[in-house]
Amino acid sequence: MSLKDRRLAELRARIPEVGAEEALRLQRDGALLIDVREDEETATGSPVGALRLPRGFLELRIEEKAADPARPLVLMCAGGARSLFAAEDLTRLGYADVRSLAGGFSAWKAAGLPVETPPQLDSAQRERYRRHLTMPEVGEAGQHRLLRSRVALIGAGGLGSPIALYLAAAGVGRLTLIDDDKVERSNLQRQILHAESRLGQRKVDSGRSALLDLNPTIEVVAHDTRLDAGNVLELLGGHDVVVDGSDNLPTRYLVNDACLRLGVPNVYGAIFRFEGQVSVFGGAAPGVRPCYRCLFPEPPPAEYAPSCAEAGVLGVLPGVIGTIMAAETIKLLLGLGEPLAGRLLLYDGLRGEFTEISVPVDPDCPSCAPGAVVALEDMAAVCGV
């Protein structure tokens, strides 16, 4: 008997083995079925619902996928050998109920049990998103989720520029740009999505060119129009997240109410001179999280709402706030961390200081209170003249 055969015999004496039918029963009863084969092996098929975690990453990532050491685990490889070695390692890590699938994936297929072909990234995508793929919080499953995501971005200007660039770079599969302005030279101090060579172009067209130059594998939809009560539901519907990079109060109130109607989270940001703020409003249903009207029930008088053209804005400030908005968007798409829901993040650029304040749900909010009827209407322009 070879050294390898003796080693396998020792493992079989200590590690329980189960057949394919028993593995399926355990999986349906709550056990975690783990396919430890390499990506090129699982590309041809893997058990439905199995966690695909290559042997080389198993010990590094298993705690994130199986936090409870008492949860039953069934490990599977191609023929039943690698899974025994993997099971031994997990036992050493403290997992109490670890089993190996005898015969591996070959036995699973021979038994005619359910198999799925997981989506695969091509070689160019693997190279492009390599830094995401090495992160256990994202990995291949998370990258596929981003590639299937749909984000609507209102505004292709100061805030919209860094948001759009980072979402496109991250691989958000469909990015919808909504803006009715054109590129002017005064924009270029802060609107990094545009360039001198595209002066006079519509911002959505200029932005689309820049984004596809950065990542030609995504879809960029351009709507050269201004949001209003008549088109807002059609333009924002069908998206997973709405990002409000607009620069006027009527649009912010309209977007808030439309997102509540659609049940879509709304990532909000605003900038003024050296200061900015970010939050996340709305959610799966009205009242689940505070909305923009919980924070600002009514717009201020026009004299207290000067435009950026009048007040000015530090050129790098949209980059600071927009990048945070992009990060919040990706967190929502991947279901990671804690979004800035119920919290308003304030940034003071002169002091280099972040402050966070709580945003409670207004029980009498006209938009998100229980029983509130969300009416969409075009608010008169609110801007100092």
Structure-block tokens of residue 319: 């980059």
Q: Please list the alpha-helical segments (H only) found in the chain.
A: 3-14, 20-28, 39-42, 58-65, 82-93, 104-110, 123-128, 130-133, 139-147, 160-170, 203-214, 232-236, 249-262, 292-295, 308-311, 317-334
Around Cβ 305, how many Cβ atoms within 10 Å?
Answer: 17
Give the active site residues.
308
Q: How far apart are CA 184 and CA 267, in angstroms?
A: 26
The backbone region for 63, taken as left when phi is positive above 0, alpha when psi lies in -120 to 50, beta otherwise, is alpha
Q: How far apart are CA 59 and CA 87, in angstroms?
A: 10
Q: How far apart are CA 82 and CA 8, in angstroms?
A: 10
- What are the DSSP calls for 57-106, one per residue? GHHHHHHHH---TTS-EEEE-SSSSHHHHHHHHHHHHT-S-EEEETTHHH
- Cβ atoms 143, 120 nearer than 8 A: no
Report which secondary-structure segment, H or E, holds 356.
Answer: strand 353-358
